[in-house]
Structure 1
Amino acid sequence: YRVDSTEDVAAALAFLLDERRTWLSGADAPPIERLSMLASPRTVALVTPDATLTWLCHPEPDSAAVFAHLLGGTGAGHFSVGPRRTALPLSQKYIDSTMTVQTRWASLSVTDYLPHDVPQGRTDLTRIISGQADAIVSFAPRPEFGQGQVTLEVVDEGIRVLGTNEPYVLRSPGVLWNIATDGNQQTAHAIVEPSKGDVVLELRCGTEEIGPSDVPELERRATSEAYWSDWAKTLELPKLKPDLMKRSALTLRGLVHADSGSIMAAATTSLPEEIGGVRNWDYRYCWLRDAALTATALVSVGSTDEAENYLDWVHRVLETLPGPERLHPLYTLYGTSLPPEAVIDSLPGYAGSRPVRVGNAANQQVQLDVFGPIVELIVELANAREKAGDPDPLSDRDWELVCAMVEAVQRRWFEPDHGIWEIRDNPRHHVYSKVMGWVTVDRAVDLATRFSREALPEWAELRDQIADEVRHKGWKDDVQSYTAAYDGTDLDAATLHIGLSGLIDPTDPRFAATVVATEAELRSGSTVYRYHHDDGLPGIEGGFHLCAAWLVEAYLLIGQRLQAEALFDQLVAAAGPTGLLAEEYDPIAERSLGNHPQAYSHLGLLRCAQLLA
């Protein structure tokens, strides 16, 4: 980078910093567990340990990325802040009970949050630079995953981003910007001096308004933080690891899309299950199962609004279908069908892990377990209402949904499916899916008895029929375990639900044998794999945090508390410095894998703490 004048110094320094970031993002990407999530009721973003905004989508979390640095390095879009004098950060942490993240160096800090007081269709991000040391700022928006070309126009109060389908502005009064180009895309650089007063940078996506906000920044931040902290005060958290449990609850709520009532499975797409591998999926959507389990976890700590809104979302989806048995496994956040799965060839992927995918072909799969978690959520919600003194714990609307889920099971439970793990191979008669069919009907019969609702006589017969078939066809003497599916002897951690659900009594020797077999075959040190059989895809994957949580619960059910406590401690140790968990864990490299943060992992962690407390 050639410097022809003193005016180019800021751009030159920022260029060198960007080059370093580019190298790090490819050759040695920041560990996934070190990424921190910002959240508002409408969207999410990720920040690296050195305060680079590495992931932000607009207008929705499942839309195209404006900053895709996470999957493509600096060329894919980033918004970075760092000390002018190169130094490593000292710490990154959340402001207690909020989703505000603070990154600190010696004499410099950056505070990031997503404001809440913005209209629908708009995404705002605020970055506050404080301290005595000068900082370098680089602003490189790359809408549509970097596939569009933008022009940056410096104006009196900041920068306008031109050449996009939607307007973007960066409000930065008093900052002197230098625009550099790589021959294709433009990047804005500046040196700022927070010693003269905090530097406030306000990114606004979806508006041309670059003037001052009607509400002072301090008040906007207070509103944002109160949304989280006021809610956190109402929670009934387990006494075990209370700070980490609070962070898990906040993370789960951060994945809630308040405008629609849906809940994301994770904040990202294409973070790899194997570094350099192809098992890279898009988890930014609403899975019926994942969302129901997340809402159930939030009910368990005393928050019911998310469950109410999610069930309303399910009702709206059902209104678009000819019958409940036609529910897809997942939908967009607004409950519509996903577009076809596609690959973004221009992005090299996290640490070179290709392909980068958008959309998810699992949308077209048959997954017959999804009805059970919805009914279990209604059970937990009814219990919570009853505990709170609600005269109508099981509403007509909820009972209608229970009946619809039973109807779906009646029509399809005997079919093979792709299972909870969405295996891209031929459908099988998965034990877990059958167990969840049984759960659907069993819980429905129980609800009818408890709350004087009418259950059809054939429901109890169907419940017993499913249970008898699973007990008979799911057990294999050869491996002394219940297995993944009726047609093989391969094991699956999800099969532990045959005891966790109550389909068989946990004191049944066959359940204890299944736990032992699962430990021997699928546990590796601090983690538990989903399965080891050939699923038709190349490569391998890490252990699954949720499976480790299931094994903790199974240990407790068979009286192995010391084993449960030890595995829970290892699960806790896998959390990153800000308390977040990704989807999977590599016990050899001792690093996280998969999309991040993952709802499954945090709801599993909460469940374990509740059982062990």
Structure 2
Amino acid sequence: MPTPLNQTVAASALLMKSLPLGLLRTFVQSNADQGITPELLAELRVLSRVPGLLVACNYGGTLCSAEGVSTETLPLDSAAVALRALAALPNTHTAVISGRSLRDLAAVSRLPAEVHLVGSHGVEFDMGYAYNQSLATDALLQEVVTALTEAVAFEKGIRIMRKPVGVGVHTRPATPEVRERVIYRAQQIAMEFGLFFIVDGTVLDLTVEEPAKGRALEQLRASLGVSAALYAGDAESDEKALATLRGPDLGLHVGPGNTTAAHTIPDPEAFARVLALLFEMRRAWLFGEDAVGLERHSMIGNGSSTALLTPDAKICWMSHPLPDSGSLFAHILGGDPAGHFSIEPVKTSPVLAQRYVDNTMIVETRWADVTVTDYLEPAPEGITSLVRVLSGTGTARVVFAPRPDYANAPFSMEIRDGEVHVVGTSDPIILSAPGVTFRVTSDGRHATAMADVPLYGGPVVLNLRCGDTEPPPADPYGEPHRRAAVGQVAREWVKTLQLPSMKPSLVRRSALVLKSLVHEPTGAVLAAPTTSLPEGIGGTRNWDYRYCWLRDGSMTVNALVSLGSTREADGFLSWLGRILENAPGPEWLHPLYSVTGAPLSTEAIVESLPGYAGSRPVRIGNAADHQVQLDVFGPIAELIHDLAERRGFMPDEHWFLMEQMAHAVIARWHEPDHGIWEARRAPRHHVYTKVMCWVTLDRAVRAAALHGREAHADWAPTAVTIREQVLHEGWDNSAASYTVAYDSPDLDAAVLHIGLSGLLDVQDQRFLDTVTAVERDLRVGPTVFRYRYDDGLPGLEGGFHICTTWLIEAYLAVGRLDDALELFNQLVALFGPTGLLPEEYDPSTETHLGNHPQAYSHLGFIRCAQLLDHYLARADVE
């Protein structure tokens, strides 16, 4: 009868999605006596999350119970199905390395082509091997067959079989006495003919080639490019393969007998269960069933460093010392092997709540008997100070597993005077935890510190300091005083904000997020604190956003200016001024820079990380640095204009920057570029870019008039020229809309700025038609897509929250208040439980996508809340 596992998998056309997640619990509960121990489960979990995996095993005695050549030796149904299912997963390979000839192995096993087969103890990789033996080898083996036939063939239960590189003697039906005699005589014959002799279960092999299961496993690893392997076997020959395992590899011995494998399971049935467990774990990781929703992560920050927490208080992302430095914890991109700092109650219980404390970036996570309070405290430049306070009545389990430089840097740990010191890294990393006794374990490359911490005696403080060998100055009032000081700074800043009455708590949280993305030591602004969180699960649109785009940075600090906070804008414009001092001219500005003002290094891929929910590759750096994006001058000019308008004056250094932006537009506005969305294709005349070039000159002329400055003679005429060209060339009759680029019918949500910027009157029929076209073709439920055209990149993406906010703004501009309110409320419903938004949303799968939290998303939301406040107030008056 088919097993339940077999029935489940066979019922689905897609093997990789066919096993229910409940099987994991079922196997654990019902098969503890089958050798599937908690330790084995833990190692399987680690193995399931490696970037590339090879699952290899012996055949007889491992995949099936019997030896011989009959149909009894078919693999167990459940084992065959699980092997095939594993092979169907991305970056996952399976193989059988058997003592049988390759022809016999393929005929008897009936395993599909997805499973790599290697015969003759690891020697025979292809069918042609058997036909390439020399005549001398063939004659030698024929002599061996004759000798064996004369010596042992008369014994009951003995069968002799010729193989491509040897002769096999099958002894399974024979009695122990007969088998002992046959082994002795066969070994003598092997010595007489100079052959290798091996006992492989109930088969004796005399071969001209040395058994090479270890070399075969290594060859498979190299050719398939895997990063870890599982090998299972039951025979003496399998020990050679087991001996090659290292690092996260896992070895299993099936059945009785001595072995070097770390784990022993009783029989092939148990191995089939292991395969099913591994499949379920790996599929869950690769396809996101084990990945925490992006919107459910909370961010802490202190103006120079940021970190992300899962809903159960796991630090899953943090870099040091700069935002774009190598990660210390990258769990969000690679699970436990990529590094994490976890705290949970020893007594298992669900998380009751996670929240931000008042108007701060302090996060509190609460269980029934344990509470964790997390924050990053201010520290000198180059130092990261993470504080984790444990309180409650229970016992907390702490797991400190740093994995520097995207888990690529080896290190060790030492306990010194009660502190955990990470040794071997470029910067000192010290975890102090007075009263906590840690135990350190190591896998040979990476160390982990763990401790169970009883809390009934009062709160326990963990302080992780990176880049500092000296402890912070002692605070006579203790940690509560430090925490209060951190919270007070945030609350005092929030009091200065002019918040709209529309969703003020979410606007307040969005403002705090934007402020946390400002790198105070330099004034630069991050687009997001993360890298490679996918725009499509399983796709390749995974970008590094830990940099300062001139466009994004300008829009971020301008959103804060609109709320009444101008310090961030001053810092950003000073940062930009320093960049211009070293640039050949403003027209040659890069689209983005490191927070230090340095150009980016080459975009690279971290091969060792599997990515969020298996979305590869994980990228470091951003190739958009080398693109031409001529729209960036517009948001900068608008920021300078709006900042001066709020203050009522414009300092000389800001006017100089305005002149520089206008100069850049005069020099290059007529050129094609790569546009706001950084499509990796040839430059075009993008409508949004031309609109932003007009905005630059328009705001420069306005600012000159308002603040007694002299506008350059060519600014106004060039602005008129750009406007006339955009209005004529940007319109497409077939689309009945303004489109992405000249001579293109493709829609782009960014062209809404043709009206939102003031270039075209919002009541002009052409703008009304453009709003209708974007709504019709790009809006799907609560989200708006950037575009639908081919951008030169594979895969799909979600709708962009900032595009949604542009459509809300457009609805308001054309008088569609009810539509604006409806879409705004749908956007509000997409916020995460602690008030954060990533970059995108896929309405078809209801999945949040992209780097998190995203400045664009939060600044767009703030703008919409402010505008709705204005329009609703005006409607009440009317």
| CA drift at 1:194 | 1.0
User: Do 1:14 and 1:189's aligned partners in 2 also have CA atoms closer than 8 Å?
Assistant: no
Counterpart in 2 of 1:522? 778
CA distance, structure 1, for counterparts of residue 636 and residue 332 of structure 2 = 33
1:122 aligned partner = 383
Find the partner of 1:396 among 634, 641, 652. Answer: 652
SS of equivalent residue, structure 2 residue 449: strand
Q: Distance in 2 between matches of 1:87 and 1:351?
A: 25
Residue from 708, 725, 737 that aligns with 1:452: 708
After superposition, give the CA deviation of every residue in 1:238-260 in whole Å (9 maximum; x if it has no partner).
11111111000000001000000
- 2: CA distance, partners of 1:588 / 1:467: 38
* 2:526 equivalent in structure 1: 264
Give the match for residue 161 of structure 1. Answer: 422
Matches within 5 A, 1:156-195: 156-195=417-456
Structure 2 residue ranges without an equivalent (≥5): 1-37, 50-280, 870-878
**Match for 1:38: what amino acid?**
I
Asked if structure 2 preserves the Cα contact closer than 8 Å seen for 1:33 and 1:591, the reply is no
What whole-Å deviation, never above 9, does each CA across 1:521-557 have from its counterpart, x for those lacking one? 1000000000000011110000000000000000011
- The answer to whether the 8 A contact 1:368-1:419 is kept is yes
Match of 2:693?
437
SS in 1 for 2:658: helix
Give 1:210 deviation, angstroms: 4.9
Moved more, 461-470 or 26-35: 26-35
In 2, distance between residues paired with 1:608 and 1:195? 48
2:739 maps to 483
The answer as to whether partners of 2:732 and 2:743 remain within 8 angstroms in 1 is no
Distance 2:406 2:46 in 1: 20
Aligned pair in 2 of structure 1 residues 21, 59: CA closer, same or farther (>3 Å)?
A: farther
- Once the two structures are superposed, residues 426-448 of structure 1 have per-residue CA deviations (whole angstroms, 9 ceiling, x without a partner) of 11100000000000001111111
Is residue 339 of structure 1 aligned with residue 595 of structure 2? no
The one of 360, 378, 400 aligned to 2:640: 378
Q: Which structure 2 residues correspond to residues 487-566 of structure 1 after superposition, within 5 A?
A: 487-566=743-822
How much has 1:213 moved relative to structure 2?
3.6
CA distance in 1, matches of 2:492, 2:48: 37
CA distance in 2 between partners of 1:522 and 1:358 (Å): 30
Q: Describe the shift of the 1:211–1:459 C-alpha distance in structure 2 as closer, same or farther (beyond 3 A).
A: closer
Structure 2 contact 586–661 (Cα < 8 Å) conserved: yes
| TM-score, scaled to structure 2 | 0.67
Kept after mapping to 2: 8 A contact 1:43/1:123: yes
Alpha-carbon distance, 1:185 to partner: 1.5
Determine helix, strand or coil for the equivalent of 1:195.
coil
Q: Is 1:141 paired with 2:402?
A: yes
Q: In the TM superposition, what is the alpha-carbon distance from 1:450 to its structure 2 partner?
A: 1.4
Cross-structure match for 1:598? 854
Q: Which residue of 1 aligns with 2:363?
A: 101
Within 5 Å, give how 1:358-373 maps onto structure 2.
358-373=620-635
Q: Deviations over 1:246-290 (max 9, x none)?
A: 000000001000000000000100000000100000000000000
1:309 equivalent in alignment to 2:571:
yes
The answer to whether the Cα contact below 8 Å between 1:38 and 1:46 also exists between their aligned partners in 2 is yes
Which runs of 5 or more residues in structure 1 are unaligned?
A: 1-10, 387-392
Q: Does 1:238 align with 2:500?
A: yes
Cα offset for 1:183? Answer: 3.5
**Can you list the C-alpha shifts for 1:53-73, whole angstroms capped at 9, x where unaligned?**
001100011111011111111
* Deviation string, structure 1 residues 563-587 (Cα, Å, up to 9, x no partner): 1000000111111000000000011
Report how far residue 451 of structure 1 moved.
Answer: 1.4
Structure 2: distance between partners of 1:200 and 1:265: 32
The answer to whether the 8 Å contact 1:101/1:111 transfers is yes
Question: Equivalent residue of 1:370, what SS?
Answer: helix
Q: How far has the Cα of 1:19 moved from its partner?
A: 6.5
- The question of whether the paired residues in 1 share the 8 Å contact of 2:46 and 2:337 is answered with no
Q: CA deviation at 1:155?
A: 2.3
Structure 2 CA distance for aligned equivalents of residues 284 and 606 of structure 1: 22
Tell me, in whole angstroms, the C-alpha distance in 2 between the residues paired with 1:184 and 1:432: 50
- Count residues with an aligned counterpart: 596
CA contact (8 A) 1:169 1:209 kept: no
Distance of aligned partners of 1:580 and 1:209 in 2 relative to their CA distance in 1, 3 Å threshold: same
Work out whether 1:466 is the aligned partner of 2:722: yes
Give the CA deviation at 1:197.
Answer: 1.1
Residues 14 and 173 of structure 1, relative CA distance in 2, 3 Å threshold: farther
Which letter maps to 2:489? Y
Match of 1:43 in 2: 305
Q: Which has the higher contact order (CA 8 A, sep 6+)?
A: 1
Distance 1:419 1:46 in 2: 31
Quote the offset at 1:133 in angstroms.
Answer: 1.4
Considering only aligned residues, what root-mean-square deviation do their CA atoms show, in Å? 1.8
Query: 2:738 is matched by which residue type in structure 1?
Result: Y
Which whole-Å CA distance do the structure 2 matches of 1:314 and 1:451 have between them? 22
* 2:544 paired with 1:288: no
- The question of whether the paired residues in 2 share the 8 Å contact of 1:21 and 1:73 is answered with no
Q: Does 1:421 align with 2:682?
A: no
Q: Distance in 1 between matches of 2:724 and 2:741?
A: 15
Counterpart amino acid of residue 66 in structure 1: L
Report SS of the residue matched to 2:631. Answer: coil
* TM-aligned CA deviation for residue 14 of structure 1: 13
Report if the CA contact (8 A) 2:308-2:315 is conserved: yes
The structure-2 alpha-carbon separation of the partners of 1:99 and 1:280, relative to structure 1 and needing over 3 Å to count, comes to: same
Given that 2:297 and 2:310 are in contact with CA atoms closer than 8 Å, whether structure 1 keeps it comes out as yes
2:868 matches 1:612? yes
Q: Offset at 1:15?
A: 6.6
CA distance in 2, matches of 1:414, 1:251: 37
TM-score, normalised on structure 1?
Answer: 0.95
Distance 2:355 2:570 in 1: 31
Give the Å deviation of 1:127.
0.3
Q: Is the 8 A contact 1:255 1:599 kept in 2?
A: yes
Show the counterpart of 2:155: none
C-alpha contact (below 8 Å) 1:171/1:211 kept by paired residues: no
1:224 aligned to 2:486?
yes
Q: Are the structure 2 counterparts of residues 603 and 170 from structure 1 closer, same or farther at C-alpha, using a change threshold of 3 Å?
A: same
Cα distance, 1:452 vs structure 2: 1.5
Output one character per residue of 1:329-370: Cα deviation in whole Å (capped at 9) or x when no partner: 000001110111000101110011110001000000000000
Alignment check: 8 A CA contact 2:329 2:340 kept: yes
**Helix, strand or coil for the counterpart of 2:441?**
strand
1:214 Cα offset (Å): 4.5
- What are the Cα deviations for residues 402-457 of structure 1, in whole angstroms up to 9, with x where unaligned? 11101000000000000000111111100000000000001111111111211122
Q: What secondary structure, in the 3-state scheme, does the structure 1 residue paired with 2:859 have?
A: helix
Distance 1:111 1:21 in 2: 31
CA distance in 2, matches of 1:298, 1:98: 16
State the Cα distance separating 1:184 from its structure 2 match. 2.6
Letter in 1 for 2:813: L
- C-alpha distance in structure 2 between counterparts of 1:19 and 1:94, whole Å: 32
4+ residue runs of structure 1 moved beyond 6 angstroms? 11-22
Match of 1:6 in 2: none
The percent identity for this pair of structures is 55
Counterpart Cα distance in 1 of 2:760 and 2:815:
16
Q: Does the Cα contact within 8 Å between 1:154 and 1:160 map onto a contact in 2?
A: yes
Q: Who is 1:328 aligned against?
A: 590
In the TM superposition, residue 120 of structure 1 has moved relative to its aligned partner by 1.3
Answer whether contact 1:58 1:123 (CA < 8 A) is retained: yes
Residue 582 of structure 1 aligns to a residue whose secondary structure is coil
